[in-house]
């Protein structure tokens, strides 16, 4: 053995190992270690509307939550099922138009029209994407990118559903607190729901589909069924966000098919840490406010935005959550070899 050579050893913290078992319930410290990150996230999100200085920033929180849902849906599809989806705009548009129609024509209040648009929108999105499910990688991405463009042009050309003006006069939430807490609770619900889901048996199948779909087929599992379920779950998140968006803007229009809804979730996922589910949500909570703050720079906004993104990708390409989780769960020490 040569003297003088040393390397950094990375070990799990004792408290992390202990809290993986039943022993977590034996001491407050370990219980705290286990629940602290989750509590910080939940409480932090719940007090956000209270600490926002103005109506404007409260509205920003709602938009952040919409992007958080889209990012969650992107991360789930891309890193747990292996379908790279650029369908954010497609989901938002479908959900938004359905909610707007339900509200203006049938007169349903937001609390009814949003759940219906979530389910109905998810069904419609899944039906549209169903023929494309055998595609993988960049081909699926292209298809999902084409659908919002297609629907947008159809609405414009045929002048249906309000044409270029969009559907005006959509009813809003009666109370601004209800408006904000509704979407915050939905983000939390989906976030913890998805984390649970990917650890269930069905989540295991999803991850297997991503790794090697031939082996999954060879194990006698119906590939198309599981992909359909995954797309349904992911598009329900996007449609929920879309329906909500229609109600807070009191309008559903062509800009709901804007590419922002497809692209920003990817950036949020990269920044937050892909494959962590909570990472993309955090990424949305960082990116959207930054983009609002940068409005002061006027047209240079996009330049600064791009620079921040570039810096993240070059210097911290693993993402905030991957880095944070490692620091929280492991410690490092120098050892001689």
Partner 1 sequence: MLEASGLMVFYENMLALNNVNIYCGENQIVGVFGANSAGKSTLMYTLSGIIEDIRKKEEMAGGERVNILGEIQYLGQDITGLKPSQRAKKGIVLCPERRRIFKECNVMENLRIGGYLASSSQAKNTMDYIFKTFPALEKLKKRVGGFLSGGEQQMLAIGRALMAQPKLLLLDEPLLGLSPLVQAVLVRATKEIREEKGLSIIITEQYARPVLPIVDYAFVLENGAAVMEGDREELMNNPDVRSAYFGV
Nearest by Cα to 300 from 196, 324, 308: 308
Could you tell me which residues come within 8 angstroms of residue 248 by beta carbon, excluding any fewer than 6 positions away?
59, 62, 172, 173, 179
Q: Which of 91, 124, 81, 90 is nearest to 227 (CA)?
A: 81
Q: Closest approach of Cβ 216 to partner 1, in Å?
A: 22
Residue 198: closest CA among 230, 222, 224, 227: 230
Q: Is 201 in the site for partner 1 (CB under 8 A)?
A: no
Tell whether residue 283 is a contact of partner 1 (CB under 8 A): no
- Closer to partner 1 by CB, 107 or 137: give it: 137
* Closer to partner 1 by Cβ: residue 20 or 332: 332
| Alpha-carbon distance values, 302 to 82, 161, 194 (Å) | 30, 32, 32
- Cα 317 from Cα 101, distance rounded (Å): 42
Select 16 or 301, whichever has its Cβ closest to partner 1.
Answer: 16
Among 52, 132, 294, 322, binds partner 1 (CB under 8 A): 322
Here the tokens at position 180 are: 């904000």
- The Cα–Cα gap between 270 and 280 comes to 7
CB of 5 to partner 1, least distance (A): 5
Question: 257, 283, 270, 253: which is closest to 318 by C-alpha?
Answer: 270
Q: Are 75 and 277 in contact (CB under 8 A)?
A: yes
Binding residues with partner 1: total (CB under 8 A): 16
* Stretch near partner 1 under the rule CB under 8 A, chosen from 48-56, 184-192, 246-254, 318-326: 318-326
Yes or no: say if 156 and 164 are a contact pair by the CB < 8 Å rule.
yes
326 binds partner 1 (CB under 8 A): yes
Does 20 interact with partner 1 (rule: CB under 8 A)?
no
Binding to partner 1 (CB under 8 A) within 67-106 occurs at none
| Residue of 1, 22, 51, 157 interacting with partner 1 (CB under 8 A) | 1
CA 48 to the chain's CA centroid: 18
Given the complex with partner 1, which of 62 and 274 has the nearer CB atom?
Answer: 274
By CB under 8 A, is residue 333 in contact with partner 1?
A: no
Residue 323 binds to partner 1 (criterion: CB under 8 A): yes
Asked if 211 touches partner 1 (CB under 8 A), the answer is: no
Is residue 5 a contact residue for partner 1 (CB under 8 A)?
A: yes
Judged by CB under 8 A, does residue 13 bind partner 1? no
**175 scored as a contact of partner 1 (CB under 8 A):** no
Please report, as ranges, the residues that interact with partner 1 according to CB under 8 A. Answer: 1-2, 5, 7-11, 273, 317-319, 322-323, 326, 337
């Amino acid at each position: 053995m040569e003297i003088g050579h040393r390397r950094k050893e990375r070990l799990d913290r004792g408290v992390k190992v202990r809290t993986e078992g039943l022993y977590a319930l034996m001491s407050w410290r370990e219980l705290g270690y286990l629940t602290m990150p989750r509590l910080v996230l939940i409480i932090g999100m719940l007090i956000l509307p209270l600490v926002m200085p103005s109506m404007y920033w409260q509205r920003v929180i709602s938009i952040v939550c919409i992007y958080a849902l889209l990012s969650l849906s992107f991360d789930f599809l891309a890193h747990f099922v292996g379908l790279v989806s650029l369908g954010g705009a497609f989901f938002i548009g479908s959900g938004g138009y359905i909610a707007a129609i339900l509200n203006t024509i049938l007169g349903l209040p937001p609390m009814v029209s949003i759940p219906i648009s979530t389910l109905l929108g998810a069904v419609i999105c899944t039906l549209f994407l169903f023929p494309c499910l055998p595609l993988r990688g960049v081909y699926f991405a292209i298809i999902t990118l084409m659908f919002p463009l297609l629907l947008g042009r159809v609405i414009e050309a045929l002048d249906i559903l309000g044409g270029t003006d969009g559907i005006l006069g959509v009813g809003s939430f009666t109370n601004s607190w209800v408006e904000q807490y509704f979407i915050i609770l939905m983000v939390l619900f989906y976030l913890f729901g998805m984390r649970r889901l990917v650890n269930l048996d069905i989540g295991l199948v999803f991850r297997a589909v991503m790794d090697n779909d031939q082996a999954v087929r060879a194990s006698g599992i119906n590939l198309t069924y599981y992909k359909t379920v995954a797309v349904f779950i992911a598009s329900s998140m996007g449609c929920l966000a879309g329906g909500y968006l229609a109600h807070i803007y009191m309008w559903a229009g062509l800009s709901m098919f804007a590419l922002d809804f497809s692209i920003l979730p990817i950036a949020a996922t990269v920044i937050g840490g892909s494959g962590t589910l909570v990472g993309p949500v955090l990424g949305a909570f960082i990116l959207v406010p930054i983009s609002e703050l940068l409005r002061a720079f006027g047209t240079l906004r996009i330049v600064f935005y791009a620079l921040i993104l570039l810096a993240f990708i070059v210097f911290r390409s693993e993402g905030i959550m991957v880095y944070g989780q490692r620091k929280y769960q492991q410690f490092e020490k120098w050892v001689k070899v």
